[in-house]
Amino acid sequence: MARRPKSPVASGDLDARKATILQAVVTEHVDTAAPVGSSAVAAATDLDVSPATVRAEMVALEREGYLAQPHTSAGRVPTDKGYRYFVDHLERGAVGAAQQTRVRDFFAHVRGEMEDVLEQTSKLLSQLTSHTSVVVGAGHSRATVLSAQLVNLDAHHHLLVTVFSDGTVTKHSVADAPGASAGEVAEASRQLNALLIGTTLGSRIQVPSRADAVARLVREATSALHEAAPTIEGEQVYIGGSSRVAESFDGVETVRAVLSILEQELVVVSLIEDILDADVSVAIGSEHGLEPLSACAVIVAPVTLEGETVGALGLLGPTRMRYREVMATAQAVSDELTRHFGGEPGA
């Protein structure tokens, strides 16, 4: 369960009635997108109190920062803090039966490599929730080389194909101006394989310093591999349903800003990881430091493989979001994804 990262004022719990009222405001506002007034709250709850009483409570809730008023004569709207309280005191609901079967179906039929599965999953998530989804696959910084092979493309070009222990495969072009013979390429391939097996991208390799064609190829290939290391080590990101952003926010400028953030993979990855690190499953409004996303809430869930976090999935929508449903969906997909990889890793 998510923890709230410190709260300046009267952090503790609200009394039961205030809590009920806050909850009603959130629920109602999520439904209607409009400020909600005291009488609506009175009608929606089973408190059996008059709007006037509700009003008094709402004044208190506003004073404490859970609610805000767009203008004097309007109803009230939850603040980020209000949503935070709502989310923290949300009893985890189960996902609907229809969704449940849809998720199971998906994972029963999905085929292909992990990359494909993650991409498909991000599409599934955005379809299920009507929000933009982000799926992050972990980086391979700790993966070791299982196999390295130099393949001849044409007279002057070769390809170093490297397979890592986590199932990733990379390729790197190696240009070879003088042009080595087929035998020399084969020999270089053998040496590379011997040299690289068991190493990680970070480790420094002792390359031959001889001047012959084979040694030259080996040097070229290893340097190509290590030059590209930062890129390879990085996480993969799959974003699904970016068009949902346009539905979620009315201001064109907000839409642009959010889309612009989504284009920056590095930012997205660190956003998701920050939230994950904080052991929080939801970041609301300005809780994550990204100013352009201050109108957004991000829900994350980890994907684990053999107890280790190998990725994460995230859902990005407006703060005015159906937290219960979306969190349940995120949880369900995360569970199934974990099971999917745990049950038949690499398949």
Partner DNA sequence: CGTTAGCACTCAAGTCTAGTGAGTGCCAGT
Partner DNA sequence: ACTGGCACTCACTAGACTTGAGTGCTAACG
- 240 has which bridge partners? 133
246 binds, among its own copies, DNA, none (CB under 5 to 8 A by kind): its own copies
Q: Which one among 68, 159, 207, 278 touches its own copies, defined by CB under 8 A?
A: 159
Amino acid identity, residue 290?
L
Indicate whether 252 belongs to the interface with its own copies (CB under 8 A): yes
Amino acid identity, residue 213?
A
270 binds, among DNA, its own copies, none (CB under 5 to 8 A by kind): none
Which residues inside 215-244 make contact with its own copies, applying CB under 8 A? 227-228, 231, 240-243
The residue among 18 and 123 lying less far from its own copies, judged by its C-beta, is 123
Listed ranges 44-52, 155-163, 170-178, 250-258: which one lies at the site for DNA (CB under 7 A): 44-52
User: How many Cβ atoms from other residues are within 10 Å of residue 183's Cβ?
Assistant: 10
93 binds, among its own copies, DNA, none (CB under 5 to 8 A by kind): none
Run of H or E residues at 92: none
Amino acid identity, residue 237?
V
Q: Which one among 6, 8, 46, 73 touches DNA, defined by CB under 7 A?
A: 73
146 binds, among its own copies, DNA, none (CB under 5 to 8 A by kind): its own copies
In the numeric block, which tokens belong to residue 17? 């009635």
Indicate whether 200 belongs to the interface with DNA (CB under 7 A): no
Q: Which one among 263, 266, 289, 342 touches its own copies, defined by CB under 8 A?
A: 263
Indicate whether 205 belongs to the interface with DNA (CB under 7 A): no
Distance CA 339, CA 347 (A): 12
Nearest CA to 271 out of 288, 257, 254 is that of 288
In the numeric block, which tokens belong to residue 284? 């609301």
| Count, residues in the chain | 347
Longest dimension (CA), the chain: 92
Distance CA 285, CA 296 (A): 5
Indicate whether 65 belongs to the interface with DNA (CB under 7 A): no
Query: What does the per-residue mask of binding to its own copies show for 138-157, with x meaning CB under 8 A?
Result: --------xx-x-xxxx--x
Sign of the dihedral defined by the CA atoms of residues 212, 215, 221, 227, in that order = negative
Helix (DSSP H) and strand (DSSP E) numbers for the chain: 13, 10
Indicate whether 55 belongs to the interface with DNA (CB under 7 A): yes
Q: Total residues at the site for its own copies (CB under 8 A)?
A: 46
Alpha-carbon distances of 293 from 151, 224, 249, 287, 298, rounded to whole Å: 46, 38, 11, 10, 9
User: How many Cβ atoms from other residues are within 10 Å of residue 264's Cβ?
Assistant: 12
Distance CA 174, CA 1 (A): 50
Query: What does the per-residue mask of binding to DNA show for 134-163, with x meaning CB under 7 A?
Result: ------------------------------
**CB of residue 36 to DNA, shortest distance in Å:** 6
Q: Total residues at the site for DNA (CB under 7 A)?
A: 25
**CB of residue 75 to its own copies, shortest distance in Å:** 24
Run of H or E residues at 171: strand 169-175
Are 235 and 137 contacting, i.e. CB atoms less than 8 angstroms apart? Answer: yes
Which residue ranges make up the site for its own copies (CB under 8 A)?
111-113, 116, 146-147, 149, 151-154, 157, 159, 161, 163, 165, 167, 169, 171-173, 175, 227-228, 231, 240-243, 245-247, 250, 252-253, 255-257, 259-260, 262-263, 344-347
Which residue ranges make up the site for DNA (CB under 7 A)?
35-40, 48-53, 55-56, 58-59, 62, 69-76
